[in-house]
Structure 1
């Protein structure tokens, strides 16, 4: 990732921000004039993140100056000018600035800065991953799974964000006792549409939820289902792309419906009711499918699983059957679930999670993740196993963190008796 400072006319500036984000870079400073940019570079702390690797300006009198050239030389920052006509190219040559044509695309800008930006630096940190939590209609436990899994990933030392992209019944905010008058995910979508969504903006609009394993960054969902047009597919995809630079893992809770509205609409440009769900599945690196552990839940899972996998072709699909119990399926319920899914869907579930009403109710009552209120419950242990499987191999979980998670807080024990 390249950290960029920009000074350009507003329309060109917005285009630069969009193209930089699309190529995985971040615009950290936007200045109206060259003098303004010099002042902002001088005021920026040397250890501020992201580090400024490139100053990109339009080669005219307003946005490029000798003072800016001197400021960049003093800080060892690469300065590149956008010059699309003869006058701009002449000014860039006069100032001794390397010039590229915007018409050549952002790859030309990357090529101009890469020798100095990458020289002698450590390899860039790999971008974060997106984990989508989806399940068929009903109440298989998608939100409970999303919250619990995000908390477990934070316990394993990952910077984790929890996003509520459910456009029909967003419930992460009430489940965690958060205010949702100003939904964070909708705000992020609006910023993405304006081309001004940055990591700093995500930090500003998210809500912080402390857990025993670390702090979760939560983007709450829309409070009313009627607000679904705010979450268009392109906006949702852009938010998730920016989240990859924000955190290590983004856990996204989505709605059940996989309907593609264009198949029944004559207006191809109208908003799509379920565009958010489809965009999340298309962007996901991991797809966790949560189905109910009863006859109806398994039937719904078998019918909808092929379509979900088709919508997320690049994601690794992990099937979880939740609320598995003998009272609903019969003797040896886990074995029955495995055999049914292998026979009818040609899939082996990643795990069968037990029906643990005490643990789930305690988490909902306290507005906290399972790991905080029911550290020794069977359900929490199964969620922990999934989190370990999802954690990148190059960052193994420490034994100390896993042992700490096994010790429930004394204050929560009465709720589980």
Structure 2
């Protein structure tokens, strides 16, 4: 846990408190101005809990001053500025304060305090690839991909969302993004030319602001006829480069798992489903989303053997979506679990409820579930999955997440 002292405009201050709680940290001091913050730091007993590990200020005249810099230096406190516009960045630079942008998410603030666990000469840990796949029939792959990416960002991860569906790409319209220039296709072209770098990925990705920070989105192809642009080697190279770009890359793929017939006359021709197959081969984690009805379960059971063959390195985390008594019968979750154990020798990771109201709200607003339906049952199930996907040391405790979700009354300035 990080102990934080903060001085910022009230709205930003409240946001810092909320995000700190979400990530398992605590704001110990809230101050209206830089002078007020300096006085509170001076009056705070040395053995007070929690210890102050970070002093966080907005880099403007009211909240960042030379006296505050000198006071933090004298006490050995780490001082960090939030700078989101050129004026704030210039002031932080003039005061000699390290700065991060609030748009980069709380992970950037944490990284400024916590040293990298890698020792000298040790390569930095590379990012992971999480592929979200589901059988035909619109079981909810795209909704799950977007919601999962947002939850991982809430847990302090740097996240990219990639739409590699060559049949019916849907991430861009679901988030209200323009997709005339598909980011994933652009990345594939750069990979073919040997020019794909982390800086290029930043340039072509579309940033999407969520409650947990920015999710970088590589939009999919708008027309299915463009599938030859996403060849196997190109897709593999893009996902490999993404490991150096972000902590987690969530990939939404198409349903088809067929390998094209490889006859001598078309041995080197593009493969229709190469993007899906390449993503599955690259997956560190495989999230399988199936529909919660008889047809969806049957399609899942038939596809699982092929899926294990294509991605032997990743254990499928089976999610049965839209589970409801109207389609399954009495005790639907138990019925789904028993059916999958009997027919496929697999225990589902979770059964997600049929929550049309929350899913519709997310689609209508073009935002993730966490932003528009934070207390919905469906959002909570996605949140539980995200907690299981991040490393233990990076995961926020469930208690902190629940505390962050409780409504807070806005404090009056006189009470701060």
TM-score (norm 2): 0.68
Checking the alignment, whether the CA contact within 8 Å between 1:129 and 1:285 is kept in structure 2 is: yes
Within 2, Cα distance between the matches of 1:336 and 1:383?
Answer: 21
Conserved 8 A contact 1:373-1:408: no
Partner deviation per Cα, 1:85-111 (whole Å, 9 max, x = no partner): xxxxxxxxxxxxxxxxxxxxxxxxxxx
- What residue in structure 2 maps to residue 166 of structure 1? 165
Q: 1:309 to 1:120 in 2, by over 3 A?
A: closer
Secondary structure of the corresponding residue to residue 363 of structure 1: helix
Taking the aligned partners of 1:276 and 1:237, their CA distance within structure 2 comes to 8
1:188–1:205: 8 Å Cα contact kept in structure 2? yes
Looking at structure 1, the residues matched to 212 and 403 of structure 2 have their Cα atoms a distance apart, in angstroms, of 9
What does the per-residue CA deviation read over 1:240-296, in whole Å, with 9 as the maximum and x for residues that have no partner?
Answer: 000000000000000000010034784110000000000000000001000000000
Aligned to 1:372: 371
Change in 2 beyond 3 A, CA 1:409/1:188: farther
Gap change, CA 1:306 and 1:200, over 3 Å in 2: same
| Pairwise CA distance, 1:400 | 7.7
- CA distance in 1 between counterparts of 2:182 and 2:222 reads 7
Where in structure 1 are there 5+ consecutive unaligned residues? 1-46, 48-118, 411-417
Give the drift of 1:315.
1.1
The alpha carbon displacement at 1:350 in A equals 0.3
Distance 2:318 2:277 in 1: 18
**Structure-2 residue corresponding to 1:340:** 339
Which residue number in structure 1 is paired with residue 295 of structure 2? Answer: 296
The match for 1:124 is 123
The RMSD of aligned alpha carbons is 2.0
The 1:401/1:160 distance shift into structure 2, 3 A limit, reads farther
Counterparts in 2 of 1:181-200, with a 5 A limit?
Answer: 181-200=180-199
Cα separation, partners in 2 of 1:363 and 1:394, compared to 1, 3 Å: same
SS in 2 for 1:319: strand
Shift in CA distance, 371/401, structure 1 to aligned 2, threshold 3 Å: farther
Matched residue SS, 1:179? coil
Instruction: State the 1:309 CA deviation.
Output: 1.4
The aligned runs of 1:69-108 (5 Å cut-off) are none
Do 1:159 and 1:248's aligned partners in 2 also have CA atoms closer than 8 Å?
yes
Distance (whole Å) between structure 2 residues aligned to residue 189 and residue 397 of structure 1:
34
Q: Which has the larger radius of gyration?
A: 1
* 2-structure distance, mates of 1:211, 1:408: 18
SS at match of 1:340: helix
Q: How many residues align?
A: 293
State the distance in 1 between where 2:213 and 2:121 align.
27
Give the direction of change, closer, same or farther, for the CA distance of 1:120–1:170 in structure 2 (3 Å limit).
closer
Residue 375 of structure 1 contacts residue 407 of structure 1 at CA under 8 Å; is this kept in 2?
Answer: no
Alpha-carbon distance in 1 for matches of 2:160, 2:212: 13
How far residue 405 of structure 1 moved from its aligned partner, in angstroms, is 5.7
CA contact (8 A) 1:199 1:245 kept: yes
Mapped pair 1:305 → 2:342:
no
Question: What residue is the counterpart of 1:133 in the other structure?
Answer: 132
Which blocks of at least 5 consecutive residues in structure 2 are unaligned?
A: 1-97, 99-117, 410-416
For 2:244, what is the secondary structure of its paired residue? helix
- 1:317 CA drift (Å): 1.3
Alignment of 1:213-232 (within 5 A): 213-232=212-231
Match of 1:363 in 2: 362
Name which of structure 1's ranges 159-168 and 394-403 shifts more when overlaid on structure 2: 394-403
Residue 392 of structure 1, CA deviation: 1.0
Deviations 1:52-111 (A, max 9, x none): xxxxxxxxxxxxxxxxxxxxxxxxxxxxxxxxxxxxxxxxxxxxxxxxxxxxxxxxxxxx
**Inter-CA distance 409–251: structure 2 relative to 1 (3 Å threshold):** farther
Higher RCO (CA-CA < 8 Å; seq separation 6+): 2
Q: Distance in 2 between matches of 1:408 and 1:166?
A: 38
Q: Which residue of 2 aligns with 1:327?
A: 326
Per-residue deviation, 1:355: 0.3
**Measured at CA, do residues 279 and 409 of structure 1 come closer, stay the same or move farther in structure 2, by a change above 3 Å?**
farther
Q: CA contact under 8 A between 1:149 and 1:383: conserved in structure 2?
A: yes
- Shift in Å, 1:311: 0.3
Aligned to 1:246: 245
Report if aligned partners of 1:160, 1:250 keep a CA contact under 8 Å in 2. yes
Q: 1:374 to 1:407 in 2, by over 3 A?
A: farther
- Give the secondary-structure state (helix, strand or coil) at the position aligned to 2:251: strand
The match for 2:144 is 145
Q: CA deviation at 1:374?
A: 0.3
Aligned to 2:268, what secondary structure does the other structure show? coil
Q: Equivalences for 1:374-389 in 2 at 5 Å?
A: 374-389=373-388
**8 Å CA contact 1:213, 1:405 repeated in 2:** no
